[in-house]
Chain A
Amino acid sequence: MIKLRQIAVPTIAMITFLALWEALVWINGWPNYKMASPSDLVPAFTRYWELFLIMGWQTLWRTVVGLLIAIVFGTMVGMIMGFSRTMRDALYPLLVGFNAVPKATVVPIVALMFVGAHDFNTVLIAFMISFFPIAVSVSIGLSTLEPEYRDILRSLGASQTTIFWKIALPKTLPEFFGALKVAVTLAFIGTNLMEIVSPHGRGLGALFDSGKTNSDYPLMFAVLIALAFLGIVLYYVVVALEKIFAGWAERPAG
């Protein structure tokens, strides 16, 4: 029963959404260059399904690689800031400043700096845009560790490393996964920014761009849907990992 509900409810919601979308376009009589309707998308997908698979894969792997680097780097920066007040004071304004720069303006700079290294560029932007929430959440998780946790282990003669592995790290996991959910979406934005702006013809961003140059509006909308689909898949991968590693943080309902 519960399983059925978990699948049925989102499915019905999605179908309702598509139906409303279709109705909106149909009632207003919009041409597909104003807004494509879901029924326009089906031919776009069937015509280009091979391209969707190839480009979708390119977008996906570069996003995931960028995200993985962001996790490693973000966790490291978070650890440094979480454990040392001095480093936190030193790094925080830098990080905030770095994060405040719109990545759309960084894209052409990176594209110029590493001309031709398309995969590298894309991964780099995906990484740059997504590591910030991870670093911040890990640092906050570590720096807000109640002193009692530390005292209990320290009074037994535990080393800093032991305290980190036994307490600080697992304690931070819920915050970490919260940030990861944000980072997943951000990483997709990063990948697509690079794919759209930099003319190298790879990824869903490039497919979107070609739809634009060829006035193939249903294709552009179809790319949006494909991106949403990838985003949902990756998001739920994170949710599944969260359940495994930080499921304890979820209070039983009721």
Chain B
Amino acid sequence: MTNLIDIKNVRHAYKTASGPLPVLDGLTLSVPEGGFVAVVGPSGCGKSTLTKLVAGLMKPDEGEVWLHGERVKSPRSTVGMAFQNPVMLEWRSILKNVMLPLEIVPTKLTKSQQEDRARYLLDLVGLKGFEDKRPSELSGGMRQRASLCRALVHQPDVLILDEPFGALDAFTREDLWQIMHQVKAKEPFTGVLITHDLRESIYLADQVVVLSGRPARTQFTLDIPETGPRDIDMLYTPEAADMLHTLRHQIEIAQGRAPAEDTAA
């Protein structure tokens, strides 16, 4: 299986007033086609930097980022992004917001096909009937769903989710997890999910990568066994508890609160 995303030994530092601040140090990460990798780690460890590198919004100081066997040097239209803050253009309807990427990336779709696609995605995430509403009329969870549609509308190869559910309440968040599974079944994508929520990581991803504290490197990788369609009940099994425990421990190591004697992955 070829890797769709290949991040090889990336180093990156931000220039600050008090000298360079290294955020990534020897980070390596691969995502196979159709894979969904969750990246967890302590706050401020460089997770968002990672998304910017994959999106081509930033160039690493050292190391390489490859997408589809091509070196990423600049932004590319084959990436879709959704952030914790689901920014919407308040002056547009939800439908027009979802269609925004199609105005920028070259597309073969006609105007009406574009609209059909946007409507289809909105339906998929349960926003049918809200197409003509303004973003200000939607709740946080609904905006985040619309933001997900916008990230997918141009059929990107890679979906980058930077803590998309972080600002939502627990119930809304679980709703959105289930919607993510439904979307992935209908609209397969290769994804990277940045998150703080360990339950979210094991429920959504097929691999969880723990980053060390800043400067971040790959500290630990956990494969989530494939068990068919996932149900939210999966989170209440002993296996899930074991995985969460392992991840929890790795985060403590990353935070420097536990000794790193058993980091063997």
Interfacial residues, chain A to chain B (CB-CB below 8 A)? 146, 148-149, 151-158, 162, 166-167, 170-171, 173, 246, 248-249, 251-252
B184 adjacent to chain A (CB < 8 Å): no
- The interface residues of chain B lying within 8 Å CB-to-CB of A251 are 136
| Chain B minimum-CB-distance residue to A251 | B136
B55 adjacent to chain A (CB < 8 Å): yes
Q: Mark B149-162, 1 if CB is under 8 A from A, else 0.
A: 01000100000100
Query: Shortest Cβ distance from A236 into chain B, in angstroms?
Result: 22
Residue of A146, A154, A252 most packed against chain B (CB within 10 A)? A154
* CA of A149 to CA of B150, assembled, Å: 13
CB pair A155–B56 under 8 Å, yes or no, is: yes
* CA of A151 to CA of B137, assembled, Å: 24
Taking a contact as CB atoms closer than 8 A, the residue among A155, A246, A248 that contacts B55 in the complex is: A155
Query: Shortest Cβ distance from B51 into chain A, in angstroms?
Result: 9
Query: Shortest Cβ distance from B46 into chain A, in angstroms?
Result: 16
B90 adjacent to chain A (CB < 8 Å): yes
> Chain B interface secondary structure, helix, strand, loop or mixed?
loop
Chain B's interface size range is: 20 to 34
Q: Mark B129-159, 1 if CB is under 8 A from A, else 0.
A: 0000010110000000000001000100000
- The interface residues of chain A lying within 8 Å CB-to-CB of B105 are 156-157
Query: Shortest Cβ distance from A24 into chain B, in angstroms?
Result: 46
Q: A156-B75, A156-B154, A157-B76 are in contact. Are A151 and B83 (CB under 8 A)?
A: yes
CB pair A155–B87 under 8 Å, yes or no, is: no
CB pair A156–B101 under 8 Å, yes or no, is: yes
Chosen A-B contacts, 29 in total, with CB atoms closer than 8 Å, are A146-B85, A146-B87, A148-B83, A148-B87, A151-B52, A151-B83, A152-B83, A152-B150, A153-B100, A153-B104, A155-B75, A155-B81, A155-B160, A156-B75, A156-B77, A156-B101, A156-B105, A157-B74, A157-B77, A157-B104, A158-B104, A162-B104, A166-B100, A166-B103, A171-B89, A173-B91, A249-B90, A249-B91, A252-B137
| Chain B minimum-CB-distance residue to A155 | B55
* CA of A248 to CA of B255, assembled, Å: 45
B109 adjacent to chain A (CB < 8 Å): no
| Chain B minimum-CB-distance residue to A248 | B91
* CA of A144 to CA of B77, assembled, Å: 26
Taking a contact as CB atoms closer than 8 A, the residue among A151, A171, A252 that contacts B57 in the complex is: A151
* CA of A253 to CA of B221, assembled, Å: 51
Query: Shortest Cβ distance from B158 into chain A, in angstroms?
Result: 10
- The interface residues of chain B lying within 8 Å CB-to-CB of A252 are 137
Query: Shortest Cβ distance from B190 into chain A, in angstroms?
Result: 15
B79 adjacent to chain A (CB < 8 Å): yes
